[in-house]
Structure 1
Amino acid sequence: MIHEVDEALRALFRAEPLAGGQVAVVFDAPTRDWAAKVNAPTVNLYLYDIREDMRRRERGLLNEYDEHGTVTARRRPPRYFKLSYLITAWTRRPEDEHRLLSSLLLCLLRYEALSPERFSGTLSELGVSVPMSVALPPPEDRSFADVWSALGGELKPSLDLVISVPVTESPVYAAGPPVGEDGLRLGFSEGVPPPAAPPERPPARAPSGAELPVYGGRPDVPAPPQREPREPRRSGIRSRVAEDQ
């Protein structure tokens, strides 16, 4: 994924701002030792930071369909990662470096995204444009001076290019069989016994042996007769749920 972005940027710069010139495009770390070995006009695109673009994260699952329009699997939506490049120009004169940076900046400002035709491999198969931004203020937790200090070099004019790349690698969850016109049948196991009936309480009696009236009933109204026991229930339940059309 990262190497595809590298090749797309190299091809873009060689086709437009650096067309016809003898300027090399590299992706090396611009350390002090590396700078001492540069002996030809060079544009360096140093990838110094990779982090997820949380503003583009989506929740839920995406459906995958077959040729009949049936859902066959589900997968997570793509996650975007920001690739931050530090673009610098290296020549013998500062004026030439400024001229190169100006040409690169004008080229990048003409595009808000890289089209799928500029990529090969995975990013080309996705068929989506890859958004990018250039020369924006750095985040609060990072400054370009810190980057140069970590590299051990001197502060140099540069362009900050950020490209948000989608990554589609995620687990695939197989979908269950589709529900047909006959509906979906649900049921319990045949071996489930019916619930047991609660035990009957004996009638309450006074010390003399007389049967006490039922609580809440009238003394002149006889107690209701005992109900006959119900037939045992079938050992299982079958239900059929028809799909709503």
Structure 2
Amino acid sequence: MIHEVDDTLRALLRAEVLEGAQIAVVFDAPTRDWAAKVNAPTVNLYLYDIREDMRRRERGLYNEYDERGTVVARRRPPRFFKLSYLITAWTKRPEDEHRLLSSLLSCLLRYEALPPERLTGILGDIGVAVPMTIALPPPEDRSFADVWSALGGELKPSLDLVVSVPVTESPTYPAGPPVGDEGLHARFGDHAPEERGRTGTRRSMPVYGGKADTEPGPEAGSETGTARPGLSLRITETRGDG
């Protein structure tokens, strides 16, 4: 996913900002040693932070269907991860760097997500929007001065680009066979199912919420052995060989 975002950003900037100009687009860490070797106009998109976007996390499971519309598996929804890029311009004059940063800012402000027509690979296949923000204030637990200190370089004007990329890799849980009505039968009758006790009495199994009636059966000397009328529901299941 990360390399696909890199490719999309490079293509976007070259097409809408650089427009064929001899300016390189790189993703190197802008350390002091790297800066000393830059000898041509360059736009650097340094990926300095990767963390999950908790505001976009979803619960539950997604269903996967076959060609007949039957659920065959379930999986977790995609999780979004924020890729934070430090964008800097490198030329011989600060005025040219400022002009280049202005063009980059104007281009990225036109989009709230990466253009769908420029997405490739898995990002293009899943059909999910890839949101992005540009030049927002950094979170409280991070400052750009700390980033430059960690790189060992001097503080330089920069743009902070954050891309929320969906990651679809997650466990897949196979679904059981669909429930059909060929093996399930419901029968209604005037009496609840009956059992015979050890003493020969015939007992009516109670319907949920009702009372069982016990009357002497023929084995106990009763001539009729009829049970008190009631309503019951008997559910049986039949299983085939396959």
TM-score normalised per structure 2: 0.77
* 1:69-148 matched pairs, under 5 angstroms: 69-148=69-148
AA of the residue aligned to 1:147: V
Q: Please, which runs of 5 or more residues in structure 2 have no aligned partner?
A: 186-194, 199-214, 220-233, 238-242
Aligned CA-pair RMSD: 2.5
Q: Return the alpha-carbon distance in structure 2 between the equivalents of residues 150 and 76 of structure 1.
A: 36
Decide whether aligned partners of structure 1 residues 117 and 148 sit closer, same or farther in structure 2, where only a CA change above 3 A counts.
same
1:114 alignment partner, SS class: coil
AA of the residue aligned to 1:173: Y
1:81 alignment partner, SS class: strand
Could you tell me how far 1:181 is from its partner in structure 2? Answer: 2.8
- Residues 128 and 166, structure 2, Cα contact 8 Å, conserved in 1: no
> 2:236 corresponds to which residue?
240
Q: Return the alpha-carbon distance in structure 2 between the equivalents of residues 86 and 175 of structure 1.
A: 44
AA of the residue aligned to 1:86: L
Q: Return the alpha-carbon distance in structure 2 between the equivalents of residues 109 and 117 of structure 1.
A: 17
AA of the residue aligned to 2:236: R
Q: Return the alpha-carbon distance in structure 2 between the equivalents of residues 56 and 129 of structure 1.
A: 12
Could you tell me how far 1:179 is from its partner in structure 2? Answer: 1.1
Tell me the alpha carbon deviations over residues 161-193 of structure 1, each in whole angstroms, 9 at most, x when there is no partner.
0000000001110001111132548xxxxxxxx
* 1:192-211 matched pairs, under 5 angstroms: none
* 1:225-236 matched pairs, under 5 angstroms: none
Q: Please, which runs of 5 or more residues in structure 1 have no aligned partner?
A: 186-193, 198-226, 232-237
Percent of residue pairs identical: 80
Greater Rg by CA: 1
Q: Return the alpha-carbon distance in structure 2 between the equivalents of residues 184 and 63 of structure 1.
A: 25
> 1:66 corresponds to which residue?
66
- Residues 113 and 130, structure 1, Cα contact 8 Å, conserved in 2: yes
* 1:143-182 matched pairs, under 5 angstroms: 143-182=143-182
- Residues 45 and 87, structure 2, Cα contact 8 Å, conserved in 1: yes
